[in-house]
Structure 1
Amino acid sequence: MSSILDSVNQRTQMVGQNRLELLLFRLRGKQVYGINVFKVREVLQCPELTELPQRNPVVRGVAHIRGATISVIDLSLAVGGPSLGDVKNCFVVIAEYNRKVQGFLVKSVERIVNMNWSDIHPPPKGAGKTSYLTAVTDIDGEIVEIIDVEKILAEITPNDDVVSQEYVEESIAKAPQDKVVLIADDSSVARGQIKRTIEQLGYKTHLCKDGKEALDYLEGIVNDGRELNDEVLLLISDIEMPEMDGYTLTAEIRNNEKLKHLWVMLHTSLSGVFNEAMVQKVGANDFIPKFNPDELAQSVQKRMDLED
């Protein structure tokens, strides 16, 4: 138990400091990619895979690992490249996204680096909507690409973003038309899912691609002398974002006298034992893992109940 608590303490010390750890890996060629260590359960030599009929072409098969059956996705195929080939010469990164455990087939695993989110940047504007990049960074003079895994998973198994009618009927009657729900998420797929969910409930939305853009938006309102509560109902923020993560964004909001009462919901594909301690430390009002439209609707309703 003490080792678990020590681990929680070590991780929560990073909260509000805008830091993360990246696991670096390669697919084909020299390009280096990264994934947040928080999402990684383990890395292992690829075991024997069982092929399934009528599977998605990017799913190489399933592996039986520690009593669980896990789909293994060829990341090179998933981003539009060639197959990684013989799985015996590859590794599998076991990670948890959106409440599901997935295996990602990679060619090699390099190392773990500790970084500041301010050194992680949105992909170049020329990357286009079809790009699978969610961010880029520079490590020792080498460009590292961070893949939009949520986009890949949505293409393999599309998420249902239809809200149950009972929540829609309850919300539409209460939804204020003079306020927006602010959404901050670096994944274009996730932003779209949240936007469609919230707008079904009758709310207007404003989208930001990272925490810094969201903070600038909020500070712009109060710096102009306008009342925040007259314009923004709540913030729904991802945690992992370039420039500024959701934990740091929340901490900055709580430390600003004019912003500190804003209702903040952290909505993330991250999961695990550390989240509750982290959310409490930065002072978020609510936390829900991605992606369930009814749970998102219920969380918005919590904020609306304060208006009654």
Structure 2
Amino acid sequence: MANILDSVDQRTQLVGENRLELLIFQLNSSQLFAINVFKVKEVVKLPRLNVLPGSHPNITGVANIRGQSIPVIDLRQAIGMRPVDTDGESNMIITEYNRSVQAFLVGQVMNIENLTWRDIQPPPSQVGKNNYLTALTKLQRDGVDRLVSIIDVEKVLAEIIDYDIQISEEVLDNNIVNHFHGRKVLIVDDSSTARAQIRDTLSQLGLQIIEASDGLMALNLLKSWCDEGKNINDEILMMFTDAEMPEMDGYKLTHEIRNDPRMNDIYIALNTSLSGSFNEAMVKKVGCDRFISKFQPDLLVEVVQDRLRAVL
């Protein structure tokens, strides 16, 4: 099973072309689920787990993988379904999000699908705000279209890990902090949980937050301002964008902005849970100004302060 991801490092050329690869799996049911391959380190058969007394109920135990203790999250239970039946086929998807390593207990791991972000659609608004999906797509299976649900892993983790949005006093620059009031920041992220984390952090500075749930929505907003004759840098101080989003990813969004002379000087920070040196390389390639790994409140503040100093 581990060999299914042996060539992940060779897949990074997809980034920047508005493409992605999804790891498709089941949760001991016929329904198909997925996460982005770039967040996956390894897939292994479920080993013997050590129980961790007092842990979150969604953590089913701790696995020892080559000397590293990795918490194992029952993904089925975490998204509101009954716990995984370990009598069936059980696998662990070992992932790295926000600079931490964890594993998700799933059923059958099926294959990797190469798609374009245009094939990915946000979940319908009728499913409500409490769902655990960032997007949906369809795949052909035996001549039949099958719906694939892409998990909002950041929401799953946020319900287990207490992310502190408190800003350290020593980070704040008292010489400029009063200049934030009335200024706006654009946040582009398909995860409502991720947007809330940034919004709740930066709102403490008096910043006004504009949100977009995908890259195409953000690009259309920026273009509408330009079409109205507005100066983009009068509208927003800067933009934070996620890397992977439906319809248009953060790399493609940045590329489109940099190629439009009306807005090519927007300050853009890539804020993503994706890890790996390829991200920093892509930041330079597409023209982002900064790369920030989620979720670091003090670093978010440092970035907006650096940007504000540059325009004062």
Specify the TM-score bucket, using the shorter chain as the normaliser.
Answer: over 0.9
SS of the residue 2:131 aligns to: coil
Aligned to 2:50: 50
| Distance across 1 between alignment mates of 2:252 and 2:137 | 19
**Shift in CA distance, 87/295, structure 1 to aligned 2, threshold 3 Å:** farther
Shift of 1:67: 1.6
Aligned to 1:276: 280
List per-residue Cα deviations over 1:101-157 (Å, max 9, x = no partner).
010000110000110011111101111011111100011111000011111101011
Aligned to 1:173: 178
List per-residue Cα deviations over 1:19-40 (Å, max 9, x = no partner).
0000000003111001100000
| Distance across 2 between alignment mates of 1:207 and 1:231 | 13
| Distance across 2 between alignment mates of 1:124 and 1:297 | 33
Q: Give the total of aligned pairs.
A: 301
- The AA in structure 1 aligned to 2:14 is M
SS of the residue 2:156 aligns to: helix
> Does the alignment pair 1:147 with 2:190?
no
Which of 274, 278, 290 matches 1:286? 290
TM-score (norm 2): 0.93
> Does the alignment pair 1:157 with 2:125?
no
Aligned to 1:3: none
- The AA in structure 2 aligned to 1:173 is N
| Distance across 1 between alignment mates of 2:192 and 2:288 | 23
Structure 1 regions of 5+ residues with no counterpart? 1-5
Which of 299, 309, 312 matches 1:305? 309
Shift of 1:162: 1.2
| Distance across 2 between alignment mates of 1:88 and 1:67 | 26
CA contact (8 A) 1:12 1:277 kept: no
- The AA in structure 2 aligned to 1:84 is V
List per-residue Cα deviations over 1:37-60 (Å, max 9, x = no partner).
000001000110000111111111
Alignment of 1:56-75 (within 5 A): 56-75=56-75
SS of the residue 2:237 aligns to: strand
Shift of 1:266: 0.4
Identity %: 49
Aligned to 2:35: 35
SS of the residue 1:156 aligns to: coil
Aligned to 2:3: none
Which of 203, 216, 220 matches 1:216? 220
> Does the alignment pair 1:199 with 2:203?
yes
| Distance across 2 between alignment mates of 1:234 and 1:289 | 17
**Shift in CA distance, 12/77, structure 1 to aligned 2, threshold 3 Å:** closer
Aligned to 2:110: 110
CA contact (8 A) 2:181 2:205 kept: no
Aligned to 2:22: 22
Shift of 1:12: 5.0
CA contact (8 A) 2:188 2:242 kept: yes
| Distance across 2 between alignment mates of 1:153 and 1:50 | 20
TM-score (norm 1): 0.94
**Shift in CA distance, 71/7, structure 1 to aligned 2, threshold 3 Å:** closer
